[in-house]
Structure 1
Amino acid sequence: MKLTEQRSSMLHGVLLITLFACAAFYIGDMGWVKALSLSPMVVGIILGMLYANSLRNNLPDTWVPGIAFCGKRVLRFGIILYGFRLTFQDVVAVGFPAIIVDAIIVCGTILLGVLVGRLLKMDRSIALLTACGSGICGAAAVLGVDGAIRPKPYKTAVAVATVVIFGTLSMFLYPILYRAGVFD
């Protein structure tokens, strides 16, 4: 295959993922979706699950490199840009004691997640990815750790889905529990 054909095929995969991303933002901006408190990320995960279970086998094989490129490189770049939202001044403003407390909570959550995963005889990669997503910042943390431990793609998908589902449930449950006086 010529170089221009490879680029064209890769572009098709990238454009497909761009279409999915635009669709996720468009659907996420609809009134009824906002009323359900579903973010574009959750909509994107749902679209990804639909893609994986229906369209994946019907796409040309030449599109796969573009899709894989988006799943690895573009996604990691997006995580880096997401991290830039937190500035050094923001970190300094909370103070050193708060940073220490945060570090202890994050490490404790990850350790507890790994231990619970062991007790439940879960796959080690899925347990670690889910624990990091729960302890740090959600799906972005799962995808960041994914690059370090390099699990099979389905394990990352399971961890992201788990973190997003429980995070979404928490968004609904925490206000209800607070109003019920559980946190008093």
Structure 2
Amino acid sequence: METQKIKTEIVKDKAVNLKGIKGKEYVRGILLTLVLALVANQIVQLPFFSIMGIMIISIMLGMIWSGIMGTQPQANHGITFSSKYLLRAGIILMGLRLNLSQIFESGLTILLIDAIVIGFTLAVMIGLGKLLKVDLHLNTLIAVGTAICGAAAIVAVASVIKSKKEFTALAVACIAILGTIGALGYIFLYPYLHLDSYSYGVLVGSTLHELAHVIAAAVPGGEVSSETAIIVKLGRVALLIPVAIMIGFIFSKIGKGNVKEKSSIKNLPVPWFIFGFLAMSCLNTFILLPEGLVNGLLLLSVFLLSMAMAGLGLSIKFSDFKKVGFKPVLVGVIGFIALAALGPVLLLLIN
């Protein structure tokens, strides 16, 4: 009996120590992503980096830290927590950015433009990726990042299609670079485009990747251009939900074939937080929330997503990028060029 008691106590002590170790790993990992997000928040205040946005800078800082310091086994649990759970919380709160009435008030033309942009971009890029034999998961992430709303769309759809972390990071990095180049290109070309402020806003909002890229590129056109660009861009964000559901069902069919499963919430091919995103959008649309509260929650959303991006960057090895080659980047470049070329055609719909 005495021996049994001693064994039981040893097992209990080991369990307590294990919990303590895991607890420290959670704290270290979460603190590391917090610090990287805070550093990114300072960097984004600089003129050039403001175009990239805090989320893009956060993932790059995470990748740089991982490249210099190596893997962080003592912080793994916390890093995973940030890149998984804080990501979901950030996406849910991001729904407050959408006031659905503003989008509908802007007219069906804007929604039509957004639908054409997303349909055209996804068709061109996924078709091109198939032709070049790019991994379907990676190709889809780059396509949705270009078509909808950059990093936020990529991480949301990555959860839907169960993509590898290195694919998610590569897609985000590709979109970050191309979107920044695109924003700078529009700013430079604005005087030569001979477009009125409204048309320029539609062009920017319908063809650039990240919201940060859209905001930066719309500035030369003035207040009308900026407001129009944001509304057009948010229309694309709103379409993230039906697109994610559609992609989820397609990948579900590809992955499961003819196997039938009982229908349940767990078996839905779209993660629950997408519906949380929609719920927040509806809340902001139909219930008058204090402006200060909405702005505060949106800032929290951006910061949680930045911590998640930092966690994602910390989980990546640069050797992973060598495995995929240059073809995915080529798909991203051609896709963006095709979307930019579509811009003048889209403007015909508003004239």
TM-score normalised by L of structure 1: 0.87
State how far apart, in whole Å, the 1-side matches of 2:85 and 2:143 are: 23
| Distance in 2 of aligned mates of 1:25 and 1:50 | 16
1:16 is aligned to 32
Residue 4 of structure 1: how far off its partner (Å): 4.1
8 Å CA contact retained: 2:150, 2:175: yes
Q: Of the two structures, which has the highest relative contact order with CA contacts closer than 8 Å and spacing of 6 or more?
A: 2
1:108 aligns with 2:120: yes
1:138 aligns with 150
List per-residue Cα deviations over 1:69-88 (Å, max 9, x = no partner): 11111112212222320112
Note the C-alpha offset of 1:125.
1.1
Name the CA shift for 1:101/1:28 in 2 (closer, same or farther; >3 Å): closer
Equivalent position of 1:159 in the other structure: 171
SS in 2 for 1:34: coil
Please say if residues 52 and 176 of structure 2, whose CA atoms lie closer than 8 Å, have aligned partners that are also in contact: no
Greater Cα shift, 72-81 or 13-22: 72-81
Q: Does residue 179 of the first structure (1) align with residue 208 of the second (2)?
A: no
Aligned equivalents of 1:144 and 1:17: distance in 2? Answer: 19
- 1:11, 1:40 → 2: CA distance? 22
Question: Which runs of 5 or more structure 2 residues have no equivalent in the other structure?
Answer: 1-14, 196-343, 345-351
2:70 pairs with 56, 60, 76, which one? 56
Equivalent residue number for residue 47 of structure 2? 34
| 2:81 matches 1:72 | no
Note the alpha carbon deviations across 1:121-171, whole angstroms, 9 max, x for none: 222111100000000011110011011001110001010111111111111
Alignment correspondent of 2:159:
147
Please tell me the residue identity of whatever aligns with 2:22: Q
AA matched with 2:40:
A
The one of 20, 29, 43 equivalent to 2:57 is: 43
Find the structure with the greater CA-based Rg.
2
Specify the code of the residue in structure 1 equivalent to 2:34: T
User: Which deviates more from structure 2 when the two are superposed, residues 91-100 or residues 112-121?
Assistant: 91-100
State TM-score, norm by structure 2.
0.48
Aligned to 1:121: 133
Closer/same/farther in 2, CA of residues 119 and 107 from structure 1, 3 Å limit: same
Offset of 1:68 from its aligned partner? 0.8
C-alpha distance in 1 between matches for 2:101 and 2:158 = 28
Residue deviations 1:81-117, cap 9 Å, x none? 2232011222221223432332232122111111121
Name the CA shift for 1:27/1:97 in 2 (closer, same or farther; >3 Å).
closer
Deviates more, 1:14-23 or 1:37-46: 37-46
Greater Cα offset, 137-146 or 113-122: 113-122
TM-align CA RMSD: 2.0
Identify which range, 108-117 or 37-46, moves more after superposition: 37-46
The offset of 1:18, in angstroms, is 0.5
Distance in 1, Cα, partners of 2:160 & 2:47: 34
